[in-house]
């Protein structure tokens, strides 16, 4: 049994080295959107190079929009596309993947479809160092 563990440790070490070249050094964030909430509400990316996968299990179109840290949006009508770090639109039943880069920090996430923010579609993204 011991040689097998040693081999696994070696393979694991090689995989780790293979991941440190920068090309795959990203944070994966998975969010499910529904009518009318984000699950989970708060997500964390370990890296500012974020790959987000949004799955829409709701009956209508939604989006997962990360706001710039200085943007303040309390109702859907206040949203302007210039306020967004990234906006991922997802049709009902679809899964969308998008990659973006943002500095470490805490960001507000909303759905900008009119009325959806007010219905409870807001959350948080925290990006670590």
Per CB under 5 A, residues contacting Cu ion are: 62, 111, 113, 116, 121
CB of 76 vs Cu ion, minimal distance in Å: 9
CB of 113 vs Cu ion, minimal distance in Å: 4
8 Å CB contact between 58 and 33: yes
CA angle 16, 20, 24 (to 5 degrees): 100
CB of 99 vs Cu ion, minimal distance in Å: 22
Those residues with Cβ within 8 angstroms of residue 109's Cβ, 6 or more apart along the chain or in another chain: 38, 64, 65, 66, 67, 122, 123, 124, 125
Q: Which is nearer to Cu ion, 26 or 71 (CB)?
A: 71
113-128 b/e (C-beta count within 10 Å ≥ 16 → b)? beebbeeebbbebebe
Q: Which is nearer to Cu ion, 26 or 62 (CB)?
A: 62
CB of 53 vs Cu ion, minimal distance in Å: 17
Q: Which is nearer to Cu ion, 26 or 52 (CB)?
A: 52
Q: Which is nearer to Cu ion, 28 or 57 (CB)?
A: 57
């Amino acid at each position: 049994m011991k040689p097998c563990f040693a081999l696994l440790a070696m393979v694991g070490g090689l995989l780790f080295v293979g991941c440190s070249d920068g090309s795959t050094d990203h944070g994966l964030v998975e969010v499910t959107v529904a009518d009318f909430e984000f699950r989970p509400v708060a997500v964390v990316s370990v890296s500012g190079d974020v790959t987000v996968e949004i799955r829409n299990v709701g009956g209508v179109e939604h989006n997962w929009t990360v706001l710039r840290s200085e943007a303040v949006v309390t109702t859907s009508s206040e949203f302007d596309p210039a306020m967004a770090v990234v906006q991922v639109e997802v049709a009902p039943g679809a899964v969308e993947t998008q990659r973006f880069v943002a500095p470490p920090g805490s960001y507000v996430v909303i759905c900008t479809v009119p009325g959806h923010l007010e219905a409870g579609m807001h959350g948080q993204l925290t990006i670590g160092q």
